[in-house]
Structure 1
């Protein structure tokens, strides 16, 4: 089953963020959506939860570098 089911437009609607904000999180290597053969981004429900968490942390005062390091540490533990 393919969990990468949502377009960036759907993620925008679910999160209330702009497409630009969502792409920015990808540019900063905070989220890694799958890509279709045509290059369109596809997001899972886990990606959406992660995007919401990133946004919340940024509002709390974290910066993207801190979140990237935290993400790497969590990934290496698994």
Structure 2
């Protein structure tokens, strides 16, 4: 029996309607943020979008920045930078762990 180690926050289980209710954003805005590559829902076999609690947090962050006058391209740029930093930090931690034979 395999155990799914995905955090509950990252499991894509909610529909766009629920996400709209949770965030107060219209479904149209949520789809727009997807088009702008700011959010990445999974799709079911029938094409239904599925979101996670992590996606809710991201959408709320986007909405707050938009409200503050930040443009979507600026948000995307900052998200890309943040992701690159996280990936670099993860790689460095892996190298350190390997160097000192540390197991997680």
Q: TM-score, normalised by structure 2?
A: 0.72
Aligned residues: 78
- Gaps in structure 1 of 5+ consecutive residues: none
Select the structure of larger CA radius of gyration: 2
Which residue in 2 is equivalent to 1:29?
A: 37
Structure 2, unaligned runs of 5 or more: 87-104
Cα RMSD between the aligned structures?
A: 1.1
Normalised by the size of structure 1, how large is the TM-score? Answer: 0.95
Which protein, 1 or 2, shows the higher relative CO under an 8 Å CA cutoff with sep ≥ 6?
1
Structure 1 outlier segments of 4+, above 3 Å: none
The equivalences for 1:1-78 within 5 A come to 1=4, 3-78=11-86
